[in-house]
Amino acid sequence: MDILYDHQMFAIQKFGGISRIFIELMRELSPNSDCSIHWHRGIKSDGYDISEYRDQLTGYGVIPKLPFTRINSINDTINKLSFQWFVHRFGRQYDIYHPTYYDADLVEIVKPKKLVITIHDMIPEKFLSGQAKFQPLIKNKQQLVEQADLIFVASENTQNDLVELLGVNPKKTQVTYWASRIQDANECELPKDFRSQPYFLYVGTRSKYKNFEIVLKAFAASPKLRDNFKLVCFGGSCDFLESELRVMEDHNMRQNFIYLRGDDALLKTLYRNAQALIYTSRYEGFGLPPLEAMECQCPVICCLTSSLPEVVGDAASLFEPDSVDGLVNAMEIVVEDSEHRASMIEKGRQRAKLFTWQKTAQRTLDGYRSIR
């Protein structure tokens, strides 16, 4: 079974949830005798080291990183031309084409026997459909949904949204959960700033649907939190916004909030030493940080919404997305009740064992075989 993956998501993100999924799939599937994996990586980035299984890939197309490829439009053109050459060099018709993102034009280049796509979430359709810049993405995604022979979805919640918003037959879909490899990262020394005062951890972007403002409201509402704890915000696209800083300063709590970027080693260390992960998102296709936290024996406090209950089960403290009191109560209990905290950690550790890349790859392979 010849399976083709492309460059799309690797050109968009050096590291990230979606590119990580395809790296892990190739890592798990490449030793399988039933699979011949072909990956057009495109212009090489330093995002992932694939040396351990590079030789197991049947086909591997990579373009050396050149100075002018930092310009996105040139980058896109070179990747697409290289992809055409890679696809047609042996005159092969691929059994499965599984694009890493939603450029519908690439399907016409490949003309595979079967098209498989993964829908990670329906965020553009639910939250961004009124913005003109997202219309091409939404249109391309819908076109691929219509063309696909099989659609993997990251959760039952995403499956339900896909059926509701695009009218997809659920029999055409298959739930394939993500997993995590945060445990494989080395730990590093905790930064000195965090050793003197305990902290809660927030991971990821703080865009509107992420509901970050409720964390600000929780600290503003609780003298106990303000006087005794910090909140470390890790990752995302930018430092604190002026609007966020204004709320912090209005409540005399700027000193409680720290912004950090870093690698998996730092993230793992932060999980290991945090009082809890605070995950306030109103909508997720899956929700990787709660799974990572559970793996790292960090209690999870998250919203009772979208896919998050599927990920955390009964191992987390859940609160309604608009309930400041619910969030404050969950945060205060996890630091005051040691038995409750220990129970959350153990339940999280057991819950995390249910999600493995081996299971993800097997479900994916089963899906491929079902449409051959």
CATH at residue 280: 3.40.50.2000
Query: What per-residue confidence (pLDDT) applies to 48?
Result: 61
Please list the ranges in the chain whose pLDDT falls under 70.
14-16, 44-57, 59, 63-72
Do 124 and 50 fall within a single domain?
Answer: yes
What is d(CA 36, CA 34) in angstroms, rounded to the nearest whole number? Answer: 7
Do 239 and 167 fall within a single domain?
Answer: no
Do 27 and 155 fall within a single domain?
Answer: yes
Q: How many domains does the chain have?
A: 2
Phi, psi values for residue 192, rounded to 5°: -55, -35
Query: What per-residue confidence (pLDDT) applies to 172?
Result: 97
Label residue 65 exposed, middle or buried (CB < 10 Å: 0-12, 13-18, 19+). exposed
Do 173 and 212 fall within a single domain?
Answer: no
Query: What per-residue confidence (pLDDT) applies to 46?
Result: 56
Query: What per-residue confidence (pLDDT) applies to 72?
Result: 66
Which residue do the tokens 């992960």 mark?
277
Do 161 and 191 fall within a single domain?
Answer: no
Query: What per-residue confidence (pLDDT) applies to 246?
Result: 94
Do 132 and 192 fall within a single domain?
Answer: no
Query: What per-residue confidence (pLDDT) applies to 15?
Result: 63
Helix (H, G, I), strand (E, B) or coil at 37: strand
Helix (H, G, I), strand (E, B) or coil at 18: helix
Which residue segment(s) compose the domain that 50 sits in?
2-179+356-371
- CA-nearest of 164, 263, 280, 151 to 211 is 280
Do 35 and 175 fall within a single domain?
Answer: yes
User: Residues with Cβ < 8 Å from 314, sequence gap 6 or more?
Assistant: 347, 351
Q: Maximum distance among all alpha carbons in the chain?
A: 68
What is d(CA 333, CA 345) in angstroms, rounded to the nearest whole number? Answer: 14
Do 39 and 114 fall within a single domain?
Answer: yes
Do 339 and 365 fall within a single domain?
Answer: no
Do 230 and 334 fall within a single domain?
Answer: yes
Do 146 and 208 fall within a single domain?
Answer: no
Q: Where are the beta strands (DSSP E) in the chain?
A: 2-5, 36-43, 59-63, 96-97, 114-119, 150-153, 173-175, 199-203, 230-234, 257-260, 277-279, 300-303, 317-319
Query: What per-residue confidence (pLDDT) applies to 191?
Result: 80
Helix (H, G, I), strand (E, B) or coil at 259: strand
Query: What per-residue confidence (pLDDT) applies to 185?
Result: 87
Helices 288-295 and 338-352: crossing angle in degrees, nearest 10, is 110
* C-beta of residue 42 within 8 angstroms of C-beta of residue 62: yes
Do 206 and 235 fall within a single domain?
Answer: yes
| DSSP classification of residue 254 | G
DSSP string, 115-167: EEEEE---HHHHHSTTSGGGHHHHHHHHHHHHH-SEEEESSHHHHHHHHHHH-
CA distances from 53 to 26, 37, 358 (A): 8, 11, 15
* C-beta of residue 79 within 8 angstroms of C-beta of residue 71: no
